[in-house]
Chains A and B, each alone.
Chain A
């Protein structure tokens, strides 16, 4: 079933030709949800979820007076559609994201975040966007206004790869703005030290933020296919390193795999959801991972 869904989804190179990011998001999301049919994840309506004991300060409008009449106890009704989560999308627009084929990592991340924003809009969540490289270049605070999706998609479409990257500093500066509990979604290639990343993400988790990490990777950087000695130019520092293909086949790949694993473990430690997204693959796996994550968190 999953394979059939994947087949119906458009590949990244096809998505790149759609032009409008909104159209990309709609195409991706509709493809996933149509394939899921009546899947057991959360619905998007005012559906009853559970009762909870009334606490002081709760809104009296949500007290179930029928239960109170029968049991003489006050309970609060909770609905699934009322989660009203504040979702903050963090896009890494550093120079290293400008790499990859058939689409580069930046575009793949943009398609993914656009699809997530479209999904969130359907759930009436408030959405915000932060684009960063060495610093935070653009920041749209989470908003439930109807035009928030348009603003986010517009900002995404304007985004181009910048210079270097410093995700640690960017997360630190954003932390002050994200006081409201919600969901933080980060799409990046995470060229940072795993421990430092852990240190940057941990305060968000302590604030009660749910963190979803999308590690955007390109097959060429995971398993380079160079067959001859080449000079590799760092996109961020512009430095050139002459590399033997034998090293790329051996030492580099083991180092890179260890890095990815350490990133994933760091995410696990703070309870963040970690998903790898390849530029050569459709976005269905990433979206399903996101939906499962939302389902687990009950939001």
Chain B
């Protein structure tokens, strides 16, 4: 229940309360002690005197106080009644610019509807024309006359992003908050079901005064959305997987039924302009179907691409054709750099075995410095002296955005057998604390059997983050801060003598975690949905499907993010080579099924109910939603008038209370305790 509630006027009935109290109270004569009734004579009280109201001034003050109180609370509503007649409205026309509006005929219909609305607007009302998809797109010309804004709308075209009615309504709510007059939203859209937010309460804009949804749907339309991926496990043979989903605008989305009408669709596979294969499929609305094109030969290009297309056109042409890049399932290249400090052959065996498990990585051993590591290799493992300063060649390697794992390779300490170790070290030290907040999540590994017999000295520098340490607090795994790339220091010789770490199952998990952590820092996705933000490493350039660079020179020098709104095959070019990125359409948006009538009515009804609440007869019986809208609306209307009313009524009320209190104290002989 809102504080600003017209039913507070019903509180005027409370005026009867003081009258009743005065009327029926104090009817019994006050009792007093008296020495003796010997000389007293009982008196029959005259009726007229007992029924007479006493303290009329006090009664009047009390009634006045209640009267002021009632008007004080009902006053915003009263003000609005008077203000409605003179205050104009601000009209916001929001036109859907999402992908589904590219369906045949919808956008011209939306523009025409906007023109009709503008033509019918009252002369004194203001207007803002804006577009929306996953958020509102306000125009720079929103302060211009309606004709100028309409011209700007005609120049626009729907994009490739998905619509979100929740984001729209919250954006409109902010506009309504800033507005001094009531705001009416004209929503011109294809009432797409997929545009509903996951949290339906996001559809409610408390500051909005009125909502009018204008649908551009005219006749039922059908669309087939196509998604595809291509994979080669051996670099020669390719398999293309295609997924198809049909939808119809005339019906709300539902589970596919057996009696639904099937439509035949032909899916074609191209390599360049050459048709390689085609398949016929029969689709029911809202039924997901998959087909496979197998035994294809990998095209001999650096970024092999196939094209999958539908032979028959449908309502939305933009999702009928898609280019897919062939992905190869190659293990990750890792270089094990052997230098003069790599004194143990055991370490290379342990490392290679751990990394090549499950074909996660392919380890190549190279002799020499890091400068000899091939450009496409981004992960390096090497034995080094883990001092305060890292060797220059490693730093240069990391500075290119690559990653390195250095383990202890101190030449001064020759490999020793257990017999040569000091007696206290025979039992070894257990693994102690681990940094569970680190993405490696080393605390989840089983370190129970791991023992460290001879931990090499490690000089920590400022900013080092110890990820693993022994029970006597000697660092085992450390991450050192670098400007680019990642550098981990594993303080163990990995020879199986100074510790049993390489012999433990946890070692395999540790190395795979480290490689996964490294890869996450440099890996780029193969596919993103249009409108998603893509995080980019530094020193890369993004080329659009037309091979045009998207990043400025300054932007490409630093890591950052880019939002790719149009579908197609993009290229990310960097020092490590060229990476193909497929930007695909949002499959939810390609589902053109419409919002059900009941859902649409419920959404729009919340605001229509507020109109009914404006009528005095329905004020008391209005629904809670309409009352809330009523109250919220009154917050924005006639602000100045409302404050003026409070300024007058409030002092009067205060004065009445003070006088009532003073009079009651005097006439009713009220005393404070102790006085």
Contacts and interface: CB of A to CB of B under 8 A. Distances in A.
A229 B36 contact: no
Interface stretch (B27-35, B204-212, B293-301, B376-384): B27-35
Given A242-B42, A252-B41, A230 B35 contact: no
A105 B39 CA distance: 18
A242 B34 CA distance: 12
Nearest to A256: B39
Given A228-B29, A228-B30, A241 B37 contact: yes
Contacts of B32: 226, 230-233
- Residue among B33, B34, B39 facing the most chain A CB atoms (10 A cut-off): B34
B39 to A, nearest CB: 4
Contacts of A247: 40-41, 43
A78 interface: no
A99 interface: yes
Interface string B423-466: 00000000000000000000000000000000000000000000
B35 A242 contact: no
B37 A234 contact: yes
A251 B29 CA distance: 20
Nearest to B50: A229
Nearest to A192: B38
Label chain A's interface by main secondary structure.
Answer: mixed
Given A247-B43, A256-B39, A259-B39, A242 B33 contact: no
A66 interface: no
A125 interface: no
Interface in A195-238: 218, 221, 226, 228-237
A83 interface: no
A133 to B, nearest CB: 13
A131 B38 CA distance: 23
B674 interface: no
Contact of B49 (A189, A229, A233, A235): A229
- Residue among A191, A231, A233 facing the most chain B CB atoms (10 A cut-off): A231
Size bracket, chain A contacts: 20 to 34
Contact of B43 (A96, A105, A236, A243): A243
A244 interface: yes
B52 to A, nearest CB: 11
A251 to B, nearest CB: 6
A108 B269 CA distance: 125
Given A247-B43, A251-B41, A231 B30 contact: yes
Interface in A224-275: 226, 228-237, 239-244, 247, 251-252, 255-256, 259
- Residue among A191, A230, A232, A252 facing the most chain B CB atoms (10 A cut-off): A232
A239 B43 CA distance: 14
A292 B171 CA distance: 106
Contacts of B42: 241-243
A68 to B, nearest CB: 60
B220 to A, nearest CB: 89
A278 to B, nearest CB: 14
Given A242-B42, A259-B39, A234 B34 contact: yes
Contacts of A251: 41
Interface in B202-222: none
B34 A221 contact: yes
A99 B39 contact: no
Contact of B28 (A99, A231, A236, A243): A231
A221 to B, nearest CB: 5
A252 B41 CA distance: 8
Nearest to A245: B43
Interface in B69-110: none
B45 interface: yes
A190 to B, nearest CB: 10
Contacts of B31: 230-233, 240
B46 to A, nearest CB: 9
Contacts of B39: 252, 255-256, 259
B37 A232 contact: yes
A242 B36 contact: no
Contacts of B43: 229, 242-244, 247
A280 B385 CA distance: 112
Contacts of B30: 228, 230-231
Contacts of A236: 35-36
A234 B43 CA distance: 15
A243 B41 contact: yes
Given A229-B45, A230-B30, A243-B42, 11 more contacts: A96-B35, A97-B35, A221-B34, A226-B32, A230-B32, A233-B31, A241-B40, A242-B43, A243-B43, A244-B45, A251-B41
The 3 closest A-B pairs by CB, nearest first: A244-B43, A232-B34, A96-B35
21 contacts: A96-B36, A97-B35, A99-B35, A189-B35, A191-B35, A191-B38, A221-B34, A226-B32, A229-B45, A230-B30, A230-B32, A231-B32, A234-B35, A235-B34, A235-B35, A240-B31, A241-B41, A241-B42, A247-B40, A252-B39, A252-B40
